Amino acid sequence: MRDLKITFLIFLFVFVNCFQLLAQREYFRDIHKAYELDSVKKVKITSRFGSFHVVNDCVDSVRFDVRLSINSQSEEVAEKLLDLIEVQWDSIVPEVGAHTVIDPLFRPKEGFSIDFRIAVPADCELDFELGFADIFIDSLQAPGKFILEHGSFEGKYLEFPEDNPGVFDLAYSKVRLNDFSKARVNANFSKVFAGTGNELQIEGSYSGWNLDSVQNINGISANDGFRLQWVDDFNVAASRTNFEVRSIGRRLKFTNDYGSCIVNGFSPEFEKLELENKYGDVVINVSKLTDVFYWISTFQSNVLIPERMEIHKDILEGRTIFQSDSKIPGAPVIQINSDYGAVELAF
């Protein structure tokens, strides 16, 4: 009998909740704003909550299409809640924009959304400062600045000016740069994904970096994790950071402590690998390298080098030195300093 009562109560609870969900509907309010196409040179957005889709299908005007949506069982309640969301416009050309203001009394019981569709030319400068929001950009061929907290960003094609790289200031956010020219990314507790890019300046803290094919990467890092598919020129000063590189182009240089580095391959254009690592492990796959000059300086470190390699061992001023027997002029160089760690040259 007791089991029947429990089953009935569970059924009643599920039935009531399903009925409430079915009784809900979406109520929305649309807002539109337009400016003459040639009069706008910059768009600035400040908002908390929402999604922002920037497209380039404008014909004769820069357009803002905004939809405010509320899920509710009552139209009266929905209208009152919608009244508590205001989009304020900055309409002094050539810089225009919007600022979303949510009244402190806004307390929806169900879901809500603020959706912007912004149609601008690709050469219009963008400046976004957002919290708990998502941005998607089709194409940008102008300066761009994006401050994002608890949100996400995706850009398909981003061609920033050479003297004015794109700026991304992130906290607890996720960014995907599919195809970009030159960008500066400051990431804290965030995830950064990059496809194809020319230059990336980084400053990272407690973040993850997954980079496919970037020509030049430089900057500083702490408590991060890097996975690089291919990089031509890499120069990073790090601490407590782990690196994994599938293939090095010409050069890779970094300093690190309490972290690890794994390099799995090299391109035919490889010139120099220069590592300085403390309290961490270094593993370099050298199976496809020929005519390379090795210079490995260690202190209180374990070193594993295959016997087939023509490398001799010396002691110099308290450090253990492993060095190639000979050097061919112009040959690639692998230079490693390791203290209190481990170094492995793997085949």
Q: What is the mean pLDDT of the chain?
A: 93
pLDDT at 2: 53
pLDDT at 276: 97
Task: Answer yes or no: is 19 within a domain.
Answer: no
Residue 82 sits in which domain range?
Answer: 24-142
Give 105-113 contacts, CB < 8 A, sequence gap 24+.
106/81, 108/70, 108/71, 108/72, 108/81, 109/72, 110/24, 110/70, 110/71, 110/72, 111/70, 111/71, 112/68, 112/69, 112/70, 112/71, 112/81, 113/50, 113/51, 113/67, 113/68, 113/69
Q: Specify the pLDDT at position 211.
A: 98
**How confident is residue 18, by pLDDT bands cut at 50, 70 and 90?**
very low
In a domain? residue 96: yes
Is the pLDDT reported for residue 172 higher than 50?
yes
Note the pLDDT of residue 193.
Answer: 98
Number of domains in the chain: 1
> 1 pLDDT exceeds 60?
no
What number is the average pLDDT over the span 39-44? 96
Q: What is the secondary structure of 205-217 as a DSSP string?
A: ES-EEEEEEEEEE
- pLDDT tens for each residue of 93-117: 999 999 999 999 999 888 999 999 9
pLDDT in tens, 173-225: 999 999 999 999 999 999 999 999 999 999 999 999 999 999 999 999 999 99
Residue of higher predicted confidence among 220 and 7: 220
User: Is the pTM here over 0.85, yes or no?
Assistant: yes
Q: How much is the pLDDT for 23?
A: 58
| pLDDT at site 13 | 47
The mean per-residue pLDDT over the stretch 245-250 comes to: 97
| pLDDT tens readout for residues 259-301 | 999 999 999 999 999 999 999 999 999 999 989 999 999 999 9
Q: Please determine, for residue 17, whether its predicted confidence score (pLDDT) is greater than 80.
A: no
User: What number of CA atoms fall less than 13 Å from residue 186's CA on the CB side?
Assistant: 9
Q: What does the alpha-carbon distance between residue 307 and residue 305 come to, in Å, rounded to a whole number? A: 6
User: How high is the pLDDT of residue 19?
Assistant: 39
Place of tokens 């430089």: 218
User: Is 246 contained in some domain?
Assistant: no
**Model confidence pLDDT, tens digit, residues 50-72:** 999 999 998 889 999 999 999 99
The mean per-residue pLDDT over the stretch 308-326 comes to 92
Q: What is the mean pLDDT of residues 323-337?
A: 92
Examine residue 299 and state whether it is found in any structural domain, yes or no. Answer: no
Percentage of the residues of the chain whose pLDDT score is greater than 90: 86
Does 11 reside within a domain?
A: no
**pLDDT bucket at 78, cuts 50 / 70 / 90:** very high
